[in-house]
């Protein structure tokens, strides 16, 4: 099977123009098929504040009321997505920016929760594999905004990490998928104070040991659990590492790689 | 040649949810290949005001400084474009929303003017006909936001009427193009006070007579001149009419149609 790199970035890099420029150069230089999934950045908060929209959080999750959905649609699907596409085009990477609504790329349903109304938050139901495949086979690099829809006319806000993961799982039927989460840290560290304590690879047995030794931090645990869920669902490997090292992450020469065996 | 309908709407319909819903139903029901080009609406002004960005106008044209470009990218490429796509998907129309930056669909250059700095305004240099054709041949309906780029990483704000016209001209090499401008009026009227005085068709000879008789209003004159430029450049016909009559406009049973002969 052909290889496909799915790379997720968040606000840490989106909010730093110089770091973002270097990251996009690296992304443009990745040979072969690739998808960039982006989250938001500070602009969504800035715009919401300017418009007098207060952000509600429940259990660390942003509640997406109608006004907040308007802001994230503007910022994620408009400003960030199209600036990423234009920047990549400027670097010779033939990019197309999409949301889950375009060609029904990602169908979601409004989250139903027994006690919390998350508002216009979408849980993914299906990925239009044929559409992604047709874009990739046409030689296009896809820039994916974290906005989905319910195919009834309603846009929905969906977590970018989740989108990256669901795309990776769905596209593993057609490609050997390398899922890379870029953030501000070097990867999973044995000692969070020591950047030389990077753990290069973790397999399921190793994960059990790390958990038993309480080496994995509370913030890293859900990321790793999601990564193992992805590799169990067919994703070839998941790498977690620093956005400044994308070239090395792609070559599995940096970051922490989660594998099935 | 196969037919292609290119339909342009502006803020008059975008800002009215019920009218927009009816319009999109009609658009979804147009058989065959179609492109919807949209302008902005009041939201761009609302967001700009909320963010403390003052709108500058010179000769009726909006000056696009960096902050205004941010707003129009958010509102046009994000909010309006993706809500139109989601609404069309909800009506069974398989839509994809794009800007000129996506796959270098529309390449523009920053306007150079001897005395006025229009800011980040793009004049169209070329249309990626192959890309539009590949989407249309895949059965997709295209929703086009009035944002282009210079392929050097810079997004540019481009007038939606001009985008519709340049798309129509470029795609006339592959399709028999029907360019339809939807606005709040019924078409070109002999007497602006009398809606029964609609002129159903105007050819070049008839246009000269209307101009000599000073029947064409100052606001309508540039629209008609652009329409004639389009038909002279190969567009099969240009129709100007009311967005509430889209079904009839497509069948040339309403509005004013500009033809070559």
- Asked if B17 has any chain A CB less than 8 Å from its own CB, the reply is no
User: In angstroms, what separates the C-alpha of B1 from chain A's closest C-alpha?
Assistant: 25
* Closest residue in B to A87 (Cα–Cα): B153
How far is Cα A88 from Cα A242, in angstroms, rounded to an integer?
20
Flag if B75 and A77 touch (Cβ within 8 Å): no
Of A83, A97, A102, the CB nearest to B85: A102
For A225-249, what is the mean pLDDT? 96
Inform me whether the pLDDT recorded for B134 exceeds 80. yes
How far is Cα A96 from Cα A106, in angstroms, rounded to an integer?
15
- Asked if A242 has any chain B CB less than 8 Å from its own CB, the reply is no
Inform me whether the pLDDT recorded for B60 exceeds 70. no
pLDDT for the residue numbered A60: 67
Which of chain A's residues have a Cβ under 8 Å away from the Cβ of B14? none
For A117-141, what is the mean pLDDT? 97
* Closest residue in A to B149 (Cα–Cα): A86
Span B153-176, pLDDT tens digits:
999 999 999 999 999 999 999 999
Flag if B47 and A98 touch (Cβ within 8 Å): no
Inform me whether the pLDDT recorded for B133 exceeds 80. yes
Hey, of A38, A75, A97, A102, which one would you mutate to test binding to chain B, going by the most B CBs within 10 A of its CB? A102
pLDDT band at A129 (very low <50, low <70, confident <90, very high): very high
For B56-79, what is the mean pLDDT? 89
Flag if A140 and B103 touch (Cβ within 8 Å): yes
Inform me whether the pLDDT recorded for B252 exceeds 80. yes
Flag if B96 and A73 touch (Cβ within 8 Å): no
pLDDT band at A76 (very low <50, low <70, confident <90, very high): very high
Which value does ipTM take for this structure?
0.96
In percent, the amount of chain B with pLDDT more than 70 equals 99
Label residues A133-167 b or e (16+ Cβ within 10 Å = b). Answer: bebbeeebbbbbbbbbbbbebbbbbbbbbbbbbbb
**Whole-number mean pLDDT of chain B?**
94
pLDDT for the residue numbered A207: 95
Flag if A153 and B90 touch (Cβ within 8 Å): yes
User: In angstroms, what separates the C-alpha of A87 from chain B's closest C-alpha?
Assistant: 4
For B51-63, what is the mean pLDDT? 79
Flag if A78 and B73 touch (Cβ within 8 Å): yes
Reported pTM: 0.96
Flag if B90 and A152 touch (Cβ within 8 Å): yes
- Asked if A196 has any chain B CB less than 8 Å from its own CB, the reply is no
Of B78, B98, B103, the CB nearest to A75: B78
Inform me whether the pLDDT recorded for B61 exceeds 80. no
Fold entry, domain B2-183+238-247? Carbamate kinase (3.40.1160)
Q: Which residue has better confidence, B55 or B5?
A: B5
pLDDT for the residue numbered B145: 98
Residue of B145, B163, B162, B160 whose CA lies nearest to B73: B145
CATH code at A3-258 = 3.40.1160.10
In percent, the amount of chain A with pLDDT more than 90 equals 84
Inform me whether the pLDDT recorded for B195 exceeds 90. no
How far is Cα A27 from Cα A11, in angstroms, rounded to an integer?
16
Q: Which of A37-51, A228-242, B52-66 bottoms out in mean pLDDT, i.e. has the lowest? A: B52-66
């Amino acid at each position: 099977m052909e290889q496909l790199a799915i790379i997720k970035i968040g606000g840490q890099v989106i909010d730093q123009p110089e770091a973002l420029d270097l990251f996009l150069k690296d992304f443009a230089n990745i040979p072969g098929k690739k998808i960039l999934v982006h989250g938001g950045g500070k602009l969504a908060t800035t715009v919401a504040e300017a418009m007098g929209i207060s952000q509600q959080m429940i259990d660390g999750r942003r509640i997406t009321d109608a006004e907040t959905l308007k802001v994230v649609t503007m910022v994620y699907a408009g400003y960030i997505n199209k600036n990423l596409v234009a920047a990549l085009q400027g670097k010779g990477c033939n990019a197309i920016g999409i949301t889950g609504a375009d060609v029904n790329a990602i169908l979601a349903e409004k989250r139903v929760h027994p006690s919390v109304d998350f508002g216009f938050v979408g849980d993914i139901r299906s990925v239009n594999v044929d559409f992604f495949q047709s874009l990739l086979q046409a030689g296009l690099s896809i820039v994916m905004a974290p906005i989905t829809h319910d195919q009834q006319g309603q846009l929905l806000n969906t977590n970018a990490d989740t989108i990256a993961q669901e795309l990776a799982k769905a596209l593993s039927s057609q490609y050997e998928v390398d899922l890379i989460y870029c953030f501000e840290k070097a990867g999973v560290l044995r000692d969070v104070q020591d950047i030389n304590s990077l753990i290069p690879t973790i397999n399921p047995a190793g994960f059990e040991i790390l958990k038993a030794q309480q080496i994995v931090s509370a913030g890293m645990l859900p990321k790793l659990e999601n990564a193992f869920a992805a590799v169990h669902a067919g994703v070839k490997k998941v790498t977690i590492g620093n956005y400044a090292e994308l070239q090395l992450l792609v070559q599995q020469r940096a970051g922490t790689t989660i594998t099935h065996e």
